[in-house]
């Protein structure tokens, strides 16, 4: 027996996003795990506001995505954004638990994977973040591979990031993306970036140097019926980068700390980011904010070029 499709999904659009959808204007999705688990308050709120402002400046509309008290929000108004930035104990929600958070009426911040699912459902095709999750170092022992990679393979959203976080095994991360047929395009450089640093030491699989060319590539994928997402890697601006050699020292120490404290599962990434924040006296946070802002600008340009 077929069951009727539920029309009363608990989804709420901000008035700004609802208006943009009605007009058919460019929209850029934003994740919320970076707000609740990636940065401390109040820097996280400043970052979230400035990223939204940058997207508006480019003629697009920002849609920050989060589950609040069981409602999936596509776009947060100023009050909700501020409240989320101050929320302690929000869930970190990925594909496995997005529906759980809604069904159990929880508050949860969406990772790259869950934000992609929500964006696709809302008809939003471009999404800006900091760095995606990937294959962790020693994954051959821990099996720790982010659900973000699988989501990129299956969900048709363009994700703009600053490369894979250098805390990961970047060669293995690129191998999985290749296996799963995810295009990896570095913007205006032939070297794949490593989040805080412009250079991961690895060549980028693909390179394009304009938002129009990226939009055109996506159009061709659509015409060929090739579904799934694509990853745009946008190197952090030179003035904000922390060189790779220097980062390696902090990363090694952060990984040791995580080992010592027996951190596993979804706590690993937030733990490492916090540890690196402390080891760099907050410099990693400044770089993190600069690269997200840089990604928001490019994502908005791509979203406009796709109209």
Check if 165 is active-site: yes
Give the nearest distance from C-beta 270 to ligand PSU in angstroms: 6
At 175, give phi and psi (nearest 5°).
Answer: -65, -45
Q: Which does 131 bind (CB under 5 to 8 A by kind): ligand PSU, Mn ion, none?
A: ligand PSU
Query: What is the pattern of x (binds Mn ion, CB under 5 A) and - over residues 127-146?
Result: -----------------x--
Binding mask 17-36 for Mn ion (x = CB under 5 A): --------------------
- Ligand-binding annotation for 109, yes or no, is no
**How many CB atoms within 10 Å of residue 96?**
11
Nearest to 270 by CA among 141, 88, 1, 28: 88
Contacts of 86 (CB under 8 A, 6+ apart): 41, 45
264 is in an annotated binding site: no
148 is in an annotated binding site: yes
Catalytic residue among 21, 52, 151, 165: 165
Strand 108-110 to strand 61-68: parallel, antiparallel, or no bridges (unpaired)? Answer: antiparallel
CA dihedral 176, 179, 184, 190 (to 10 degrees): 90
Identify whether 138 is a catalytic site residue.
Answer: no
- Distance from the first to the final alpha carbon of the chain: 40
Rounded to whole angstroms, the Cα distance separating 67 from 84 reads 10
**Cα–Cα distance, 43 to 61 (Å, whole number):** 22
Residue 288 binds which entry of ligand PSU, Mn ion, none, CB below 5-8 Å type-dependent: ligand PSU
Residues at the site binding ligand PSU, with contacts judged by CB under 6 A: 31, 33-34, 37-38, 111-112, 129-131, 133, 146-148, 266, 269, 273, 288
37 binds, among ligand PSU, Mn ion, none (CB under 5 to 8 A by kind): ligand PSU
**Residue 147 labeled ligand binder:** yes
The minimum distance between CB 1 and Mn ion, in angstroms, equals: 39
Quick one: what does residue 152 bind among ligand PSU, Mn ion, none, with the CB cut-off 5 to 8 Å set by partner type? none
CB of 79 to ligand PSU, least distance (A): 23
- Is there a contact between 271 and 226 (Cβ–Cβ < 8 Å)? no
User: What is the smallest separation between the CB atom of 33 and ligand PSU, expressed in angstroms?
Assistant: 3
List, in sequence order, every beta strand (DSSP E) within the chain: 11-13, 27-30, 61-68, 71-74, 91-93, 108-110, 126-128, 158-161, 184-187, 191-194, 197-203, 206-208, 230-233
Among the listed residues 21, 31, 151, 301, the single catalytic one is: 31
CB of residue 80 vs ligand PSU: minimum separation in angstroms? 18
C-beta closer to ligand PSU: residue 155 or 269: 269
- 249, 290, 91, 15 alpha-carbon torsion, rounded to 10°: -170
Residues annotated within the binding site for Mn(2+) are: 144
- Residues assigned a catalytic role: 31, 165
Binding site for Mn ion (CB under 5 A): 144
């Amino acid at each position: 027996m077929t069951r009727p499709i539920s029309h009363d999904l608990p989804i709420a659009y901000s008035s700004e996003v609802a208006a943009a959808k009605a007009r058919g204007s460019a929209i850029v999705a934003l994740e919320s795990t970076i707000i609740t688990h990636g940065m401390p308050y109040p820097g996280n709120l400043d970052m979230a506001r400035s990223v939204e402002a940058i997207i508006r400046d480019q003629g697009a509309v920002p849609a920050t995505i989060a589950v609040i008290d069981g409602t999936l929000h596509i776009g947060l108004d100023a009050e909700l954004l501020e409240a989320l930035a101050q929320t302690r104990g929000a869930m970190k929600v990925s594909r496995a638990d997005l529906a759980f958070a809604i069904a159990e009426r929880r508050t949860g911040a969406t990772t790259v994977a869950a934000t992609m699912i929500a964006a696709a459902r809302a008809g939003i095709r471009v999404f800006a973040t900091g760095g995606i999750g990937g294959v962790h170092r020693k994954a051959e022992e821990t099996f720790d591979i982010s659900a973000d990679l699988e989501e990129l393979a299956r969900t048709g959203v363009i994700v703009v990031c600053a490369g894979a976080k250098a805390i990961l095994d970047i060669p293995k991360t690129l191998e999985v993306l290749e296996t799963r047929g995810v295009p990896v395009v570095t913007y205006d450089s032939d070297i794949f970036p490593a989040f805080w640093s412009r250079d991961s030491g690895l060549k980028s699989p693909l390179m394009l140097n304009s938002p129009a060319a990226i939009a055109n590539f996506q159009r061709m994928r659509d015409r060929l019926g090739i579904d799934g997402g694509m990853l745009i890697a946008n190197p952090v601006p030179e003035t904000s980068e922390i060189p790779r050699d220097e980062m390696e020292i902090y990363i090694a120490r952060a990984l040791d700390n995580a080992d010592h404290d027996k951190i596993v599962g979804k706590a690993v990434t937030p733990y490492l980011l916090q540890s690196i924040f402390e080891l760099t006296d907050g410099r990693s946070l400044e770089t993190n904010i600069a690269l997200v802002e840089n990604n928001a600008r490019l994502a908005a340009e791509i979203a406009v070029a796709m109209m």
